[in-house]
């Protein structure tokens, strides 16, 4: 009987210990700002995945668009060479791999404005109002910078929340132990019937 109490406490120790520590796999997150894609890669323990290999693919054709490595903070950013759906694959040492996607429409919204609207509108503005040096495009740039500065903490918060969601929950841990005991319990049941 004593032995069962000890084994129970060993299991409890292993269950409760991860509450203060954490798990092991990598996660990568991407967001777009000013037409540049920023990625952040972490080990699920919260450590930064430095010097991890980053590969960017076109989701449609599966063609490798560009490669790179993360810096000491696990960051990597790049200017997408084409406006398509991107698949970002990060490979860290010891066979860890994570995938994230960036949709074409997230890239498009910004680059379209820059490419299409600016030529005509700025042309009209500059010819009619000679005295004002501030063009619509300047304002657009200013607003964009302000907005992205304001949004930055929000992005960081979202990434933190996503990170927390990726972590194993207590329910999953207990559930897993339950499954193991259950599966072997069924095995024991049939063994006992036969024996």
Partner 1 sequence: MHISDGILSVPILASGALLTVGGTVLGLKHLQYEKVPQTAILSSAFFVASLIHVPLGPSSVHLILNGLAGIILGWVTFPALLIALFLQAVLFQFGGLTTLGVNTFNMAFPGVVVYFICGSLLKMRRTHFITLAGILAATFGVSLAGICVALELAFTGQGFIPVAKLVLIAHVPVVVIEATITAIILNFLYKAKPEIIGVNK
In the block, tokens 């903070």 appear at: 73
Q: Which is nearer to partner 1, 11 or 139 (CB)?
A: 11
CA–CA dist 160, 46 (Å, integer): 10
* DSSP run (H or E) holding 96: strand 96-102
Give the range of 101-109, 121-129, 152-160, 170-178 binding partner 1 by CB under 8 A: 170-178
Select the residue interacting with partner 1 from 30, 86, 98, 107 (CB under 8 A). Answer: 98
195 part of the interface to partner 1, by CB under 8 A: yes
Is residue 17 classed as helix, strand or coil in its secondary structure?
A: helix
CA–CA dist 194, 191 (Å, integer): 5
Give the range of 43-51, 60-68, 114-122, 132-140 binding partner 1 by CB under 8 A: 43-51
CA–CA dist 27, 43 (Å, integer): 6
Question: Shortest gap between Cβ of 88 and partner 1 (angstroms)?
Answer: 13
Neighbours of 44 (CB within 10 A): 17
96 part of the interface to partner 1, by CB under 8 A: yes
Inter-residue contact 112 to 83 (CB < 8 Å)? no
Sites of contact with partner 1 (CB under 8 A)? 2-3, 6-7, 10-11, 14-15, 17-18, 21-25, 43, 45, 47, 49, 89, 91, 93-99, 166, 168, 172-173, 175-177, 179-181, 183-185, 187-188, 191-192, 195
């Amino acid at each position: 009987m004593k032995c069962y109490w000890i084994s129970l406490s060993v299991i409890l120790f292993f269950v409760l210990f991860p509450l203060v520590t954490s798990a092991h796999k990598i996660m990568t997150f991407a967001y777009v700002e000013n037409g540049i894609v920023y990625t952040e890669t972490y080990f699920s323990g919260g450590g930064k995945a430095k010097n991890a290999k980053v590969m960017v693919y076109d989701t449609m054709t599966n063609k490798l668009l560009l490669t790179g490595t993360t810096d000491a903070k696990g960051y990597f950013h790049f200017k997408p060479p084409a406006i398509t759906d991107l698949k970002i694959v990060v490979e860290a040492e010891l066979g860890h791999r994570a995938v994230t996607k960036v949709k074409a429409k997230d890239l498009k919204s910004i680059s379209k404005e820059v490419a299409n609207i600016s030529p005509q509108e700025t042309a009209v503005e500059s010819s009619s109002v000679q005295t004002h040096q501030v063009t619509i495009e300047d304002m657009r740039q200013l607003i964009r910078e302000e907005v992205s500065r304001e949004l930055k903490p929000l992005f960081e918060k979202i990434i933190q929340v996503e990170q927390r969601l990726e972590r194993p929950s207590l329910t999953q841990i207990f559930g897993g132990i339950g499954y193991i005991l259950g599966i072997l319990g069924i095995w024991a049941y049939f063994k006992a019937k036969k024996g």
